[in-house]
């Protein structure tokens, strides 16, 4: 039989059910690691902690690919609602608490508690968790998450005290913010996702964006997202 | 570092129900809740068990997985629980889902969960969401009660009061307030509110609301333009797609309406109601292929849903009949009769059955069914939906049952003498039967009779003979139980009489019955909300 005549399967149906299964499994893995890490002996803890980092990367990538697929096909239910910045930042800090502790990294949080802002909770939380996870990889021992209003825009900064982004990443970030298309490795996926999410956020003629630079409060790399 | 607040006091006394088909998730959620200080936790594995537990127990919080394997999904369980009043206003319902879908985020407000959590679920998110939802439920409990009682003035007053003090949840209060204004028929006020919100920020729900206000005011082009803008900015915003379809349909642009509904069913593939609407529009346009497929999907999706509807069965049976497959049509009608045990559906099924026989050339059975239908209509005293009566009239004319045709025509006209569209459809039926003149004469005569009675009542009332007018229209109402104009006038007269002479239980009952009946016949009738306010204002 001619193989080319075989009809292509409807991948989207598989995708949805596969994601459903994978998310259940990842949830249980993350929860298992977070509950059981404290009970391990110190040297075992040191060996097991990076597994949590790896599982979170899998989760990030899954979220990113699914969102990109859906946004591209005009199926993503973009849920623009008012979020309390205090609550949002607390949730993010709490979600990353275990990993930070075991990696010996301090997270400084600097935000305007009383502020509220319109954005899609799932997408922005996906972008920020991904940025934090990245920064954990590059930092020495300290991160800073700041969320402030500047010129009528919400500015979210993730900064670290590492040695900063290499030039290639800065260039990729620069290209993305100028709308240039590129594709290379996992930096590519993360940046593409973050930039796509930022651009979905519009208000009265202004559009969101992401920016990469070196410097910030600790002199390391800074991931910046601006939302109108 | 953030230290979680002590939530033991908040969670200790609360009862929880966990609905999840996956053992691993059930124990994960249970352990989480226990660590928050909860003691009272039930777990079930599927929708059927969930309903059984909800029938027996009251819960403060329900955590429900969206995907529950075969059978009902989480949304079906929620809809049934709300529809059957198995959960109270204070119960918080949280859906846990692997992926965010348009249905979940932009679904119908009355069947929305209080919150949704996207997997993977972690303790931090779960605790923070639960705290938030419980606080919000508590704040909204009075407002939700007023909404359920259809006490619109009170709903708005409570929203205004809460809006003046609270900074959080302002959006939710604004949404409730504006949708209440639309329900009350106060479109200009609603438009103003939406425009004020939009002056500060482009928000899809407010913009869609503005479009609705224009739709109700009859400014269809403007409404259409606004819905289009919402969709351009937010392509998966389901509600705007629903409304643009409605707007096209009302403007008579059926092809565009069908296209919009097709998009709705792509975004919301599990919605019984949207599949049904698509089937009906396609059927109306003569696109039998699309209609057939949509009706089949409607029936399949309706299996587990409270939204299952006889319309899909009847529509599909008609299409099978048109496609010269009478045996299948009759089988579908049998299924419908079994699935829906109510008098109105039974009548409708009979009518379609008669038409199927007639179309297939089986005159003997067609005439037999036609006689049965005539008997049912007579027994019902004409108290059935006008659309069904119209189809019955068509059957009588097709099978040569002249006497029944004449009688039902009179009933339809007298109950709907101001509905020009319906009267035109009735005239068309007589045209098709080659009886144009008889039809026109019958329609006109019946119409004049009702107008005469109604006018007599109004004149009596103006002359101050309120009691006589009420008596006259009450009698007319017994004969014409679905005539909106007569009910509205009668209710207004009853209210007028009570304003002059004080409250009176008999008049109160008449006014209340008319109000409910008109609201049921025409949910868009502006008079209802205004009359409710007038009725509430009558002193004891």
Candidates A19, A70, A77, partner chain B, best to mutate (most B CBs within 10 A): A77
User: Cβ A20–B4 below 8 Å, yes or no?
Assistant: no
DSSP-based helix, strand, coil % in chain A, nearest 5:
55, 20, 25
> Burial letters for B485-524: b for 16+ Cβ neighbours within 10 Å, e otherwise?
bbbbbbbbbbbbbbeeeeeeeebeebbeebbebbbebeee
- Residue pLDDT, tens place only, A86-142: 989 988 998 888 888 888 899 999 998 889 999 999 999 999 999 998 898 889 999
Mutation pick from A64, A78, A101, A122 vs chain B, by most beta carbons of B within 10 Å, is A78
Tell me: do B100 and B179 sit in the same domain.
no
* B361 CB-near residues (< 8 Å, 6+ apart): none
Provide the residue range defining the domain that includes B491. 457-536
- Tell me if B29 sits within 8 A of B52, measured CB to CB: no
In a domain, B378, yes or no: no
The pLDDT of residue B182 is 92
Residue B196 within a domain: yes
pLDDT at residue number A213: 92
Enumerate the residues of chain B whose CB falls inside 8 A of the CB of residue A27: 25, 28, 119-122
Q: If we measure between CA atoms, which residue out of B159, A1, A188, A72 comes closest to residue B151?
A: B159
- Point out the residue among A77, A95, A203 whose CB comes nearest to the CB of B201: A203
Q: Which of B21, B69, B100, B205 best probes binding to A when mutated, by most A CB atoms within 10 angstroms?
A: B100
Contact A20 B234 (CB under 8 A): no
Calculate ∠ Cα B96-B101-B107, nearest 5°: 95
Q: Which residues contact B75 (CB under 8 A, 6 or more apart)?
A: B66, B95, B103, B104, B107, B111, B270
pLDDT at residue B264, as a whole number: 93
Structure-model confidence comparison of residues B357 and B200, the more confident one: B357
CB contact (8 A) between residue A24 and residue B168: no
Chain B residues touching A76 at Cβ < 8 A: 100, 236
Contacts of A36 in chain B (CB under 8 A): none
Read off the tokens for B446.
């019946």
**Pair A7, B82: CB distance under 8 Å:** no
- Same domain (yes/no): B39, B96: yes
Cβ–Cβ gap B168/A84 under 8 Å: yes
Q: Are B473 and B489 in contact (CB under 8 A)?
A: yes
* Mean pLDDT computed over A11-20: 71
Partners of B228 in beta bridges: none
| Minimum Cα–Cα distance from B97: chain A residue | A20
> Would you call A95 and B128 a contact, using CB atoms and an 8 Å cutoff?
no
- CATH number of the domain at B104, please: 3.40.50.2300
What 3-state DSSP class applies to A92? helix
Contact A91 B123 (CB under 8 A): no
How far is the alpha carbon of A73 from chain B, nearest alpha carbon, in Å? 9
Q: What is the pLDDT of residue B326?
A: 95
Contact assignment for A90 to B24 by CB distance below 8 Å: no
Distance of CA B428 to the CA centre of its chain: 29
DSSP B340: -
Q: What is the pLDDT of residue B534?
A: 87
Separation between Cα atoms, residue B101 and residue B113, nearest integer Å? 13
Same domain for B21 and B67? yes
pLDDT greater than 90 at residue A184 = no
Point out the domain boundary residue: B212, B234, B256. B234
Contact call for residues B399 and B358 (beta carbons, < 8 A):
yes
Domain boundary among B215, B234, B253: B234
The CATH T-level fold of domain A12-227 is Heat Shock Protein 90 (3.30.565)
pLDDT, mean over chain B = 90
Selecting from A59, A75, A90 the residue whose C-beta is nearest the C-beta of B2 gives A90
pLDDT value at residue B4: 52
In a domain, B400, yes or no: no
Nearest by CB: B106 against A59, A77, A82: A77
Interface of A with B (CB under 8 A): 16, 19-20, 23-24, 26-28, 30-31, 34, 59, 66, 70, 74-82, 84, 87, 90-91, 93-95, 97, 107, 109, 116, 118, 122, 202-204
**Residue of chain A nearest B28, judged by CA positions:** A28
| Minimal CA separation from A169 to chain B, in Å | 29
pLDDT of residue B217: 92
**Which tens digits make up the pLDDT trace of B310-340?**
999 999 999 999 999 999 999 999 999 999 9
- Taking only the tens place, the pLDDT of each residue in B471-523 is 999 988 888 888 999 999 999 999 999 999 888 889 999 999 999 889 888 87
Chain B closest-CA separation from residue A24 CA (Å)? 6
Domain end position, chosen among B127, B145, B163: B145
CB–CB contact B99 A20 (8 Å): yes
Residues B138 and B193 in one domain: no
B94 forms beta bridges with: B63, B115
pLDDT in tens, B393-405: 999 999 999 999 9
- A81–B171 CB contact, under 8 Å: yes
Residue A79 to residue B100, Cβ atoms within 8 A: yes
Please tell me the distance in Å from A121's CA to the nearest CA on chain B: 11
The answer to whether the Cβ–Cβ distance between B98 and A97 falls below 8 Å is no
Domain of B219: which CATH number?
Answer: 1.25.40.10
Contact A77 B100 (CB under 8 A): yes
With contacts defined as CB-CB under 8 Å, which chain B residues touch A20?
A: 67, 98-99
Contact at CB, B202 and A78, closer than 8 angstroms: no
Q: Residue B382: what pLDDT?
A: 66
The whole-number pLDDT of residue B3 equals 47
The C-alpha atoms of residue B395 and residue B405 are separated, in whole angstroms, by 8
CB contact under 8 A, A24 and B24: yes
To test the contact with chain B by mutation, choose from A17, A24, A56, A128 the residue with the greatest count of B C-beta atoms within 10 A, namely A24
- What is the model's pLDDT at position B1? 40
Count CB pairs under 8 A between chains A and B.
Answer: 106
Measured between CA atoms, the residue of chain A closest to residue B119 is A23
Residue contact B98–A81, C-beta within 8 A:
no
Q: Is the pLDDT of residue A194 over 60?
A: yes
Same domain? For B55 and B172 the reply is no
Query: What mean pLDDT do residues A18-44 have?
Result: 83
B65: alpha, beta or left, given left = phi > 0 and alpha = psi -120 to 50?
Answer: beta
ipTM over 0.95: no
What percentage of residues in chain A have a pLDDT greater than 90?
37
Q: Which of B2, B413, B267, B165 is nearest to A87 (CA)?
A: B2
Q: How many domains does chain B have?
A: 3
Nearest to A213 by CA among A224, A202, A200: A224
Calculate how close chain A gets to B58, using CA atoms only, in Å.
28
Residues B131 and B175 in one domain: no
Nearest-angstrom CA–CA distance, B148 and B33: 31
SS3 assignment, position B95:
strand
Percent of chain B with pLDDT over 70: 98
Residue of chain B whose Cα is closest to the Cα of A94: B124
Distance from C-alpha of A32 to C-alpha of B122, rounded to nearest angstrom: 11
Measure in Å the smallest separation between the Cα of B75 and chain A Cα atoms.
16
In a domain, B345, yes or no: no
> Has residue B335 been placed in a domain?
no
Binning pLDDT at 50, 70 and 90, where does residue B40 land?
Answer: very high
* Contact B125/A at CB under 8 A: yes
B203 and B107 in a common domain:
no
* Cβ contacts of A142 on chain B, cutoff 8 Å: none
Which residue among B101, B119, B201 places its CB closest to the CB of A77?
B101
Judgement on whether residues B16 and B140 belong to the same structural domain of the protein: yes
Q: Test A82 with B123 for CB contact under 8 angstroms.
A: no
- Are B57 and B119 part of one and the same domain? yes
pLDDT of residue A1: 47
- The reply to whether B35 and B115 lie within a common domain is yes
pLDDT tens by residue, B58-92: 999 999 999 898 889 999 999 999 988 899 878 99
Query: What digits encode the pLDDT tens for the residues A34-67?
Result: 888 888 888 888 888 888 888 888 888 888 888 8
Say if residue B184 is in the same domain as residue B139: no
Contact A23 B119 (CB under 8 A): yes
Other C-beta atoms closer than 10 Å to the C-beta of B234 total 23
Do B128 and B190 fall into the same domain?
no
Give the nearest partner residue to B99 out of A16, A116, A204, using CB atoms: A16
């Amino acid at each position: 039989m001619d193989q080319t005549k075989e009809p292509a399967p409807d991948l989207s149906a598989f995708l949805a059910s596969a994601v459903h299964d994978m998310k259940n499994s990842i949830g249980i893995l993350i929860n298992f690691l977070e509950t059981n890490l404290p009970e391990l002996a110190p040297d075992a803890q040191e060996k097991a902690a990076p597994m949590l980092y790896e599982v979170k990367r899998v989760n990030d990538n899954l979220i990113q690919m699914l969102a990109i697929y859906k946004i591209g096909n005009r199926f993503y239910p973009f849920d623009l609602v008012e979020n309390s910045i205090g609550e949002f930042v607390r949730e993010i800090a709490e979600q990353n608490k275990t990993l930070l502790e075991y990696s010996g990294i301090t997270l400084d949080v600097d935000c305007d508690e009383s502020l509220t802002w319109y954005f899609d909770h799932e997408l922005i939380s996906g972008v920020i968790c991904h940025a934090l996870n990245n920064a954990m990889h590059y930092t020495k021992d300290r991160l800073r998450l700041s969320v402030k209003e500047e010129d009528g825009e919400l500015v979210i900064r993730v900064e670290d005290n590492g040695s900063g982004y290499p030039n290639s990443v800065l260039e990729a970030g620069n290209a993305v913010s100028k709308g240039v298309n590129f594709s290379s490795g996992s930096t590519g996926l993360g940046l593409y996702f973050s930039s796509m999410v930022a651009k979905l956020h519009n208000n009265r003629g202004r559009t969101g964006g992401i920016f990469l630079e070196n410097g910030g409060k600790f002199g390391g790399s800074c991931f910046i997202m601006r939302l109108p | 570092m953030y230290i979680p607040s002590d939530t033991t006091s908040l969670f200790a006394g609360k009862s929880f129900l966990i609905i999840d088909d996956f053992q691993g998730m059930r124990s994960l959620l249970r352990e989480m809740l226990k660590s928050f200080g909860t003691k009272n936790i039930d777990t079930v594995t599927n929708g059927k068990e969930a309903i059984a537990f909800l029938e027996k127990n009251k819960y403060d919080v329900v955590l429900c997985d969206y995907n529950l394997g075969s059978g009902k999904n989480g949304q079906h369980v929620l809809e049934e629980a709300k529809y059957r009043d198995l959960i109270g206003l204070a119960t918080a319902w949280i859906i846990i889902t692997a992926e965010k879908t348009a249905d979940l985020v932009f679904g119908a407000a009355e069947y929305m969960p209080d919150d949704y959590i996207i997997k993977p679920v972690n303790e931090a998110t779960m605790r923070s969401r639960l705290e938030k939802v419980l606080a919000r439920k508590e704040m909204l409990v009075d407002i939700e009660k007023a909404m359920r009682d259809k006490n619109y003035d009170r709903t708005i007053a409570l929203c205004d009061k809460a809006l003046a003090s609270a900074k959080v949840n302002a959006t939710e209060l604004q949404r409730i307030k504006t949708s209440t204004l639309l329900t009350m028929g106060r479109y200009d006020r609603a438009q103003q509110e939406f425009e004020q919100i939009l002056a500060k920020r482009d928000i899809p729900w407010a913009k869609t609301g503005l479009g609705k206000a224009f739709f109700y005011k009859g400014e269809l082009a403007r409404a259409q333009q606004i819905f289009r803008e919402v969709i351009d900015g937010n392509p998966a915003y389901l509600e705007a797609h629903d409304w643009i379809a409605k707007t096209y349909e009302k403007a008579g642009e059926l092809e565009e309406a069908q296209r919009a509904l097709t998009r709705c069913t792509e975004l919301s593939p599990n919605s019984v109601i949207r599949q049904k609407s698509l089937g009906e529009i396609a059927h109306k346009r003569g696109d039998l292929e699309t209609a057939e497929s949509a009706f089949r999907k409607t029936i399949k999706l309706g299996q587990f849903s409270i939204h299952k509807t006889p319309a899909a069965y009847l529509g599909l049976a008609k299409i099978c009949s048109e496609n010269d497959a009478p045996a299948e049509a009759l089988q579908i009608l049998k299924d419908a009769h079994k699935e829906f045990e109510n008098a109105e559906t039974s009548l409708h099924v009979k009518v379609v059955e008669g038409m199927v026989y007639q179309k297939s050339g089986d005159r003997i059975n067609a005439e037999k069914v036609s006689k049965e239908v005539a008997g049912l209509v007579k027994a019902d005293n004409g108290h059935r939906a006008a659309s069904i009566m119209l189809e019955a009239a068509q059957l009588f004319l097709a099978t040569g049952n002249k006497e029944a045709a004449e009688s039902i025509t009179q009933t339809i006209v007298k109950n709907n003498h101001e509905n020009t569209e319906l009267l035109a459809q009735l005239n068309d039926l007589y045209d098709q039967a080659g009886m144009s003149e008889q039809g026109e004469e019958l329609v006109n005569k019946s119409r004049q009779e009702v107008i005469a009675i109604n006018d007599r009542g109004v004149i009596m009332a103006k002359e101050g003979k309120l009691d006589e007018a009420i008596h006259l229209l009450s009698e007319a109402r017994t004969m014409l139980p679905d005539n909106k104009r007569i009910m509205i006038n009668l209710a207004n007269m009853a209210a007028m009489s009570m304003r002059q002479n004080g409250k009176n239980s008999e008049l109160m009952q008449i006014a209340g019955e008319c109000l409910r009946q008109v609201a049921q016949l025409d949910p868009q009738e502006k008079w209802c909300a205004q009359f409710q306010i007038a009725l509430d204002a009558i002193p004891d």
